[in-house]
C-alpha cells in the first residue's frame, strides 16, 4: 500500500520523507490555510522535496474555472501535480475534460461508493473517500472503501483509491486489509504507526541485559 502524507506543512513532509514513508502528498484548502503560506510557494517546496504525486485542490466551483485553475497548477510540475476536484457535477465535467487532456485528477469529498463510481467513469486517476468524516456522522467509513474496492474490481477500473480523512492507525490497518491502493495519512498518525509498548519494553530489556553482559 502506498502512503501519502496529508499535509501542507513542509517540515512534516521532510520528516516523514526521512522515515521513508512518503510516496506522495495530498493537500486541501484547509491544510494550505493552516500553513499560513502562499499556495504556489508551498507547492513548489513540496515538489522539490517529494518524488511522487502531489494533489493540489482547485477552489473554483464551475467546470470552466476549475479547468483554468488546473492548467495553472499543473504547470508547476506536469508530472507530479494531481488536480484535486470536488465530487460535484461541475467537478465531474472538469474531470472528464482534464482526463481527456492527460491531466491527473483526484476526486475529493467522496462519501459514497456511487460517487466514486461516477469519478472513475469520468476518468479520475484517484478517488478520495473521507472515512473519518463518515465515522463522525455515525456511518462506517471503511464500509464505503470496501464497496468502492468491489465495484472497481468488478469492472476493472484503474482509478486508485486513496483512503482519506484518516484519524487513527486502525484506519490504515483496515485500508490495507481491504486492499485500498493508498492511504493519505496525517504526520501524527504516521508516528503512531511505529509505536508499540512491547517494542519499547523489549528494547529496554535487551539493552539492560547487554549492559549486564559487558559489565561481567
Residues with catalytic function: 84
Q: How far is the CB of 119 from ligand G3P (least distance, A)?
A: 15
In the complex, what is the shortest distance from the CB of residue 39 to ligand G3P, in angstroms, rounded to a whole number?
15
Could you tell me the smallest distance in angstroms from the CB atom of residue 108 to ligand G3P? 6
Under the binding rule (CB under 6 A), the answer on residue 164 touching ligand G3P is: yes
Q: Does 179 bind ligand G3P (CB under 6 A)?
A: no
For the segment 11-30, give every residue that binds ligand G3P (CB under 6 A): 26, 28
The tally of CA atoms less than 13 A away on the side-chain side of residue 175 is: 29
| Spatial separation of the C-alpha atoms in residues 124 and 133, rounded to whole Å | 22
Nearer to ligand G3P, 120 or 183 (CB): 183
Q: Between the CA of residue 101 and those of 95, 105, 118, 132, what are the distances in Å?
A: 10, 11, 18, 33
Write each residue from 94 to 133 as x if it is in contact with ligand G3P (CB under 6 A), else as -, in one continuous string. ------------------------------------x-xx
Distance CA 128, CA 86 (A): 10
Amino acid at each position: 500500500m502506498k502512503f501519502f502524507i496529508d499535509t501542507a506543512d513542509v517540515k512534516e513532509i521532510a520528516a516523514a520523507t526521512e522515515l521513508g514513508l512518503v510516496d506522495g502528498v495530498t493537500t486541501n484548502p484547509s491544510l494550505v490555510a493552516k500553513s499560513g503560506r502562499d499556495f504556489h510557494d508551498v507547492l513548489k517546496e513540496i515538489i522539490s522535496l517529494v518524488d511522487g504525486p502531489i494533489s493540489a485542490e482547485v477552489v473554483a466551483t464551475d467546470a470552466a474555472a476549475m479547468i483554468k485553475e488546473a492548467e495553472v497548477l499543473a504547470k508547476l510540475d506536469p508530472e507530479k501535480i494531481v488536480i484535486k476536484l470536488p465530487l460535484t457535477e461541475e467537478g465531474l465535467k472538469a474531470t472528464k475534460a482534464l482526463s481527456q487532456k492527460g491531466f491527473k485528477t483526484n476526486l475529493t469529498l467522496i462519501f459514497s461508493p456511487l460517487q466514486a463510481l461516477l469519478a472513475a467513469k469520468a476518468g479520475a486517476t484517484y478517488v478520495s473517500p473521507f472515512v473519518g468524516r463518515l465515522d463522525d456522522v455515525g456511518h462506517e467509513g471503511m464500509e464505503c472503501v470496501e464497496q468502492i474496492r468491489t465495484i472497481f474490481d468488478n469492472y476493472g477500473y484503474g482509478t486508485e483509491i486513496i483512503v482519506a480523512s484518516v484519524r487513527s492507525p486502525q484506519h490504515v490497518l483496515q485500508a490495507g486489509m481491504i486492499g485500498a491502493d493508498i492511504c493519505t495519512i496525517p504526520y501524527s498518525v504516521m508516528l503512531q504507526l511505529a509505536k508499540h509498548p512491547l517494542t519499547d519494553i523489549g528494547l529496554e530489556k535487551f539493552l539492560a541485559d547487554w549492559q549486564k553482559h559487558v559489565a561481567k
